Structure 1
Amino acid sequence: MRVNCVGAIIFDASDRLLLIRRGRPPGVGLWSVPGGRVEPGETDAIAVRREVLEETGLRVLEVGRLAGAVDRPGPGGITYVIRDYLAGVSPGAPVAGDDAADVRWCDVTELECLPLSEGLLESLTDWGVLPGRAGGVV
């Protein structure tokens, strides 16, 4: 079974990436971008807005272009089809909610030191969205 999911790649004015620490399976305790399942009847943009609000308390002002997509294995033969979008949020301090155990802004250099969801750093690098990295946003 394939499950449609979305993620939000959000940077602040200091080029820090918004990350949540997962509080529920899959990937409990790992850091990732905010996101989750697309509910029936939702567009990807609506799902991005809902997931970011639920997990961080921040309102998405703009859902931008699709940065990239990956398939990730889940329990019981599920495949998560994850489409990650660039997005911008309203000003404010993020607060962990829903299935996020923690939330933080992370400098790109800190990414290599955190326990990240499988393939996250590689995907963000391959898609050229990380500020200051080869091919990334500058």
Structure 2
Amino acid sequence: MTSSPQLASSAILERDGRYLFVRRANPPSADMYAFPGGRAEPGETPAETAVREFHEETGILPRNPQLFQTYDLPPRESDGSGARHFFLSVFKVEADPGLEAVAGDDAASVGWYTSTEIFALPIPDSVRDCVEKLELIRPR
């Protein structure tokens, strides 16, 4: 019997063609770059999870979460024997432009990256897919 996937959310914040990324300090995807996010807490909606995790990892309180993409992420062998199955909801968010991101919670670091820079980083497949889709709709 397989257990139902663990719910997780992440949030995309874009400024001037750059996306805010965290380098993950812990599994899953430790040492990979990704949008800020994490596991849902009991009773949270996916949007609430995205806002809370974004705030915990970057110090920025985002607003107006809009669902962008969802991913069914079965465990990968590279994540080890304790790997979990996740259902990830990815949201686009807004935040005041003057707010500075500071790494917190399980983020090893934070930074703003262009899509070209992102594709050169170690990123999960779901992040690559999101950035490719974002670049198709981003105004030039």
TM-score (ref. length: structure 2): 0.85
Q: In structure 2, list runs of 5 or more residues that go unmatched.
A: 76-80
Deviation of 1:121 after TM superposition, in Å, equals 1.0
State the partner residue of 2:78.
none
Q: CA contact under 8 A between 2:10 and 2:35: conserved in structure 1?
A: yes
State the partner residue of 1:129.
134
TM-score (ref. length: structure 1): 0.86
Q: CA RMSD in A?
A: 1.5
Q: Secondary structure at the match of 1:18?
A: strand
Deviation of 1:77 after TM superposition, in Å, equals 5.8
The 2-side partners of 1:51 and 1:104 are apart by: 16
The aligned amino acid for 1:54 is E
The 2-side partners of 1:87 and 1:6 are apart by: 12
State the partner residue of 1:32.
34
Q: In structure 1, list runs of 5 or more residues that go unmatched.
A: none
Q: CA contact under 8 A between 2:28 and 2:83: conserved in structure 1?
A: no
State the partner residue of 1:89.
95
Q: How does 1:56-71 map to 2 (within 5 A)?
A: 56-64=58-66, 66-71=67-72
Q: Give 4+ residue runs of structure 1 displaced > 6 Å after superposition.
A: none
The change in CA–CA distance for 1:80 and 1:94 in structure 2 (over 3 A counts) is same
Q: CA contact under 8 A between 2:59 and 2:103: conserved in structure 1?
A: yes
Alignment length, in residue pairs? 130
The change in CA–CA distance for 1:101 and 1:77 in structure 2 (over 3 A counts) is closer
Matched, 1:3 2:10: no
The 1-side partners of 2:60 and 2:83 are apart by: 33
Deviation of 1:6 after TM superposition, in Å, equals 0.5
The change in CA–CA distance for 1:109 and 1:85 in structure 2 (over 3 A counts) is same
Identity of aligned residues (%): 32
The change in CA–CA distance for 1:77 and 1:93 in structure 2 (over 3 A counts) is closer
State the partner residue of 2:109.
102
The change in CA–CA distance for 1:40 and 1:105 in structure 2 (over 3 A counts) is same
Which deviates more from structure 2 when the two are superposed, residues 75-84 or residues 93-102?
Answer: 75-84
The 2-side partners of 1:101 and 1:73 are apart by: 24
